[in-house]
Amino acid sequence: MRFYTQQHRFYAGIDLHARTISLCVLDANGQVVREATIDATPAAFLAALAPLRDGLVVGCECMFAWYWLADLCAAESIPFVLGHALYLKLIHGGKSKNDKIDAHKLATLLRGGAFPQAYVYPKGMRETRDLLRRRTFLVRQRSHLLAHLVNTNSQYNLPPLSQKVCYARNRVALDLPSRFADPSVRRNVETDLALVDAIDEQVRGLELYLTRSAKVDDPQAYQRLRSIPGVGPVLALVLLYEIHDIKRFAEVGQFLSYARLVRCSHESAGKVKGSGGRRIGNAHLRWAFGEAACLLLRESDAAKKWLARKERKSGKGRALGALAAKLGRAVYHLLRKGEALDAKRFFAS
């Protein structure tokens, strides 16, 4: 957890909503100098803070509408701090809660050096990252449709499908609509197939666009990520855009924690009380490293031998987690040093 500890003349806590903003500004002594509820527009925001611009810092909780506020503060040279939503539990713990109280709590945390920071992904690559996440959403929806199709076949005790329906040529060869006699069931299956075909077309176009964007945004890092056995175009895109700038992680341990590749122990009075924080971090990176570890095992005999040694000590689940963490360390140093992956060195330890 990183806290914002810099000193300023004024500290503005912003409780941001889609249509309104509740703001509270404290001075260095903790006195309230400005409280207001305004429209969530750039003009209203700048007008409300105009007399306090000298030495002002703005703190806002991470929610879906923070993009425009961060971009506005960057354009106006106003320091902006994004609060980590899962760490900002203090503002929800009071007996009474409203927007005015939340804004005051945010300003107090900001002034006291206890404001937990989240990463402010800068404008430029951020839009492409969101498009990549949309592609992931579409692929998952496609999987749900295919699973529903297979389940429908099982509901009516029909012969098992002899080929994988995830491939378009297999869906045509099986002639799935003719398998179902009832018109409503047939229409149900046809709807699934039509949606799957439409998603396939959109995903192909998105992957082409995203690959071209990566070759413009950071072609060297993209090619270095592709040098890892098992990391194809899609996983390289996820790693590139979810990490963005590896230099924001001072140590490899911070990166592994952000990617959810290590467990954080809870201790009290010298006793371990378990672990936690599994939801804190980047879920997209955790998925990407898990997939990369499985694909690495398909392509590398050295990886299979390494995993077998780990399995004898820790079991299969922990061994796979250790391999994903090992990949995470390799990616960190690969991007830090600007080098391609050396497979011999990777499995030397």
Distance CA 190, CA 181 (A): 13
CATH class of 3-118: alpha beta
- Residues 76, 129, 82, 252, CA torsion sign: negative
The pLDDT assigned to 184 comes to 94
The set of long-range contacts for 185-192, using a CB threshold of 8 Å and a minimum separation of 24, is 185/152, 185/156, 188/152, 189/149, 189/152, 192/145, 192/146, 192/148, 192/149, 192/152
Q: Where are the domains of the chain?
A: 3-118, 126-217, 224-264+275-346
Per-residue pLDDT of the chain (349 residues; tens, 9 = 90+): 789 999 999 999 999 999 999 999 999 999 999 999 999 999 999 999 999 999 999 999 998 899 999 999 999 999 999 999 888 876 777 778 889 999 999 999 999 999 999 999 999 999 999 999 999 999 999 999 999 999 999 999 988 988 899 998 888 888 887 888 899 999 999 999 999 999 999 999 999 999 999 999 999 999 999 988 889 999 999 999 999 999 999 999 999 999 999 887 778 777 877 777 677 889 999 999 999 999 999 988 888 998 999 999 889 889 999 999 999 999 999 999 998 888 778 777 6
